[in-house]
Amino acid sequence: MARVLLCHSNDAVAPALDIALSERNLIILLSKLYTPGSACSFMNTDVPHGFSYATFRAEPDELHYMSPTRDGAPPGPMHPLAELVHAVVKDILDASLIADGREARSR
């Protein structure tokens, strides 16, 4: 599912988890934002000693960026190619969700 590595930084006292998601799992997690009734998360129990599990959660931008822990900081700039990919994927998922909703209502 994911590769989880325990990393120690020379600058930090506490260890940090470095989590690598495959492209497949990243896309699945993203699609969960558009799936009605989804918990928008998945769990990985293949974690280093001392940890019980790692939860991967997706949040809509509106919710994520208004979080009080962000102190109102807006998102940073993205590379133009990343902006294009974001826009295309969002358009595809939005169109798919609308089509699925129409199909469900017509039944």
The full set of domain ranges for the chain reads: 2-71, 77-107
Is the whole-model pTM more than 0.85? no
Q: How confident is the model at residue 90 (pLDDT cuts 50, 70, 90)?
A: confident
Residue 68 has pLDDT above 80, yes or no: no
Residue with tokens 């133009």: 80
Instruction: Note the pLDDT of residue 83.
Output: 93
Per-residue model confidence as pLDDT tens digits over 30-45: 888 888 888 999 888 8
One DSSP character per residue, 19-84 reads: EEE-HHHHHHHHHHTTSTT--SEEEE----TT---EEEE---HHHHHT-GGGTTPPPPP--HHHHH
Long-range contacts of 58-64 (CB under 8 A, 24+ apart): 58/29, 58/30, 58/32, 58/33, 59/33, 60/33
Residue 56: count of CB within 10 angstroms of its CB: 18
Residues near 75 by beta carbon (within 8 Å), at least 6 away in sequence = 61, 65
- CA torsion through residues 38, 47, 21, 1, sign: negative
